A and B are shown apart, each in its own frame.
Chain A
């Protein structure tokens, strides 16, 4: 008979079903990073001069920076000169419609469950599909543009809406922000851009699906979402990568701007290849995500379900500038095998009566290491600011770890800040209780874990929530002896 502890320690050798490679010809720049590579990327994309200058400024700054070592993650030094900074599937000509997209690419996204064929898609979700360094297709563009919503690849936005891009690019995450954001600013290749005009509620979920395919290639995309006054958008992000033995770097930047009374809901299901059960391979996911609640009564919610990547290092944050603005962070992070996650949020309260909520659920299995790191900062002028944080960790088995690093800085005496934290072992008594009622160990574990994450899952859009639960169960599937 296998004890639950053995079973939990075994939760490991699960197949990563997105690990296939698409055999497709690609255009890429030679490995390594220097000014010429940056100029070449900018030239391929036919970028305006100001953007190239911005990239070069970032690069110059980056050369003076060192890789941060404060996160509680361990990995060998990244060799930035062996990496390829730009790779795109070879396109024969300028695409006029989806019919002209390479069928291999369409098939790849079909296999990932992302049909780019608008006719076949469930209505209600518009998708921008990013393959390695470029956006290959954006669906429902016409329908959205009737409402004045701009949803397109970043490259297209630079061409078609340069004023908007120029106004907001780097306004939340400046090019000098941190090592990886600065690197991204120098070499970013594509990503999604989204603008919701005044008074418009986006009638469908907007989503970007990121896929890394080419070997040895870093993915550096940028997402910029601007919600003008009184607007609303719900945005989803998903990602996968092939199984490869070497580590690959994903260093994205996401900037959100919410003006007066606008609301942005940003949901991520991150399932980059986590490496195998011995810790070989996997994506280094070093991402900077930040939202500015610039207007009064604006609101930004981050919801993330992080099950993939060898290493995750990300802190989706909210800068609460507008009075009465609201920031929320809901997170589930699962680490198993040798995965490491150092994730959390920053809530910076600047405006009056600003409110923030942080709900973080960390699950560690195998030899996984899971850290919550969060900052709540109440500035001097933030009269009546309130924060509630709850960080719960669940340990499965006895070889994993959970760590919590809450930082609280309060500079206004009227602030109310509450922090609750708990660490529990997944209860063998809970598992036994469920098994006594006829439920298998695997189902019992998945039920307990899903229950543990309930407060986060209910923040996800319906379809995504179902996906997330399935993903979590699959990630936890082990071989029952």
Chain B
């Protein structure tokens, strides 16, 4: 479903992604870990089409199409979703109104009928309950004054409503209390299925106890330097990143 090949990207004059290859098949969950500044969020934003990031090499195919050739909103309409590490606030714009507009523009793109305010509200409430998002947040302006944890839940809530085909979750677990973490994980798990793929960016093995990944990748300095199964996350938790970095630097030894 997603095939990233030798992807390179820079921001301003700094090369950040230095050749990343990653294949996500339908039904798979890939965890991406790695030290701060290694390029995890950059990868997410390049997949979503952020214009600050210039792709300097490689390719990304999504459902057989050239993803890099598409506008961000078209990628979204094709089912790409990014849960942001730092969700922005949009003052004065109601969360409900925003999300209904989003859902309807996606539905329109797909030739589906748009939802009216009542049907949408019903759907929104159901999904809010699913991720245990306080319903009162639906009426508030998007992320404005939300607590850190509420912002993250709001991202997962949006994902649940928009039902993407490929979801990239960028540190959605950071800043969540234990109950919130479970709620978010339950939300994600309830959406796992044979047609949907996930890339879960995280620093913590703890999340991966709840959302059990099929693969774990370690990103370092713009490259994936190690990939493995879910055990790799445990090993990282125990030993940190240094040993892999050394291993990657001296493949011979």
Contact = CB atoms under 8 A, between A and B. Distances in A.
Interface of A: 1, 3-4, 427-430, 432-441, 443, 447-448, 450-455
B229 interface: no
B73 A452 contact: no
B19 interface: no
Nearest to A433: B88
Per DSSP, chain A at the interface is helix
B92 A427 contact: no
B158 A4 contact: no
B51 A440 contact: no
A172 to B, nearest CB: 33
A435 B72 contact: yes
Contacts of A428: 51-52
B92 A450 contact: yes
Question: Which of B49, B92, B141 lies at the interface centre, i.e. has the most chain A CB atoms within 10 A of its CB?
Answer: B92
Contacts of B81: 436
Closest 9 CB pairs of A and B: A451-B92, A454-B92, A451-B93, A437-B102, A438-B76, A435-B72, A438-B106, A435-B73, A438-B105
A428 to B, nearest CB: 8
B94 to A, nearest CB: 8
Interface of B: 48-52, 71-73, 75-77, 81-82, 84, 87-88, 90-93, 98-99, 101-103, 105-106, 109, 141, 158, 162
Contact of B102 (A432, A439, A455): A439
A207 B219 CA distance: 64
Contacts of A435: 49, 71-73, 76
B73 A440 contact: yes
B141 A451 contact: yes
20 contacts: A428-B51, A430-B88, A432-B50, A432-B51, A433-B87, A435-B49, A435-B76, A436-B48, A436-B73, A436-B82, A437-B98, A438-B76, A438-B77, A438-B105, A438-B106, A438-B109, A447-B98, A451-B92, A451-B141, A454-B93
A1 B99 contact: no
A4 B88 CA distance: 17
A452 B90 CA distance: 8
Given A443-B101, A447-B98, A436 B72 contact: yes
Nearest to A6: B51
A4 to B, nearest CB: 7
Contacts of A427: 88
A452 B84 contact: no
B92 A443 contact: no
Contacts of B99: 437
Nearest to B144: A451
Contacts of B72: 432, 435-436
Given A443-B105, A447-B101, A437 B162 contact: yes
A429 B52 CA distance: 10
A1 B48 CA distance: 14
Nearest to A5: B51
Nearest to A480: B71
A439 B106 CA distance: 8
B93 A450 contact: yes
Nearest to B103: A438
B76 A433 contact: no
B88 A429 contact: yes
Contacts of B158: 437
Contacts of B52: 428
Given A436-B76, A450-B93, A455-B92, 12 more contacts: A428-B52, A432-B72, A433-B84, A433-B87, A435-B49, A436-B48, A438-B162, A439-B102, A439-B105, A447-B90, A447-B101, A450-B92
B218 to A, nearest CB: 26
Contact of B105 (A429, A440, A448): A440
Contacts of A439: 73, 101-102, 105
A439 B102 CA distance: 5
Nearest to B84: A433
A458 B140 CA distance: 15
B93 A447 contact: yes
A439 to B, nearest CB: 6
A90 to B, nearest CB: 48
B92 to A, nearest CB: 3
Contacts of A443: 101, 105
A430 B84 CA distance: 12
Contacts of B92: 450-455
Contacts of A452: 91-92
B91 A451 contact: yes
Nearest to A451: B92
A438 B101 CA distance: 9
Question: Which of B71, B72, B77, B91 lies at the interface centre, i.e. has the most chain A CB atoms within 10 A of its CB?
Answer: B72
Contacts of A453: 92
A441 B49 CA distance: 13
B77 A434 contact: no
B252 to A, nearest CB: 43
Contacts of B48: 432, 436
B51 A4 contact: yes
A6 to B, nearest CB: 10
A448 B90 contact: yes
A270 to B, nearest CB: 22
Given A438-B102, A439-B102, A440-B105, A448 B93 contact: yes
A433 B102 contact: no
A396 B206 CA distance: 43
B50 A434 contact: no
A474 B167 CA distance: 34
Contacts of A450: 92-93
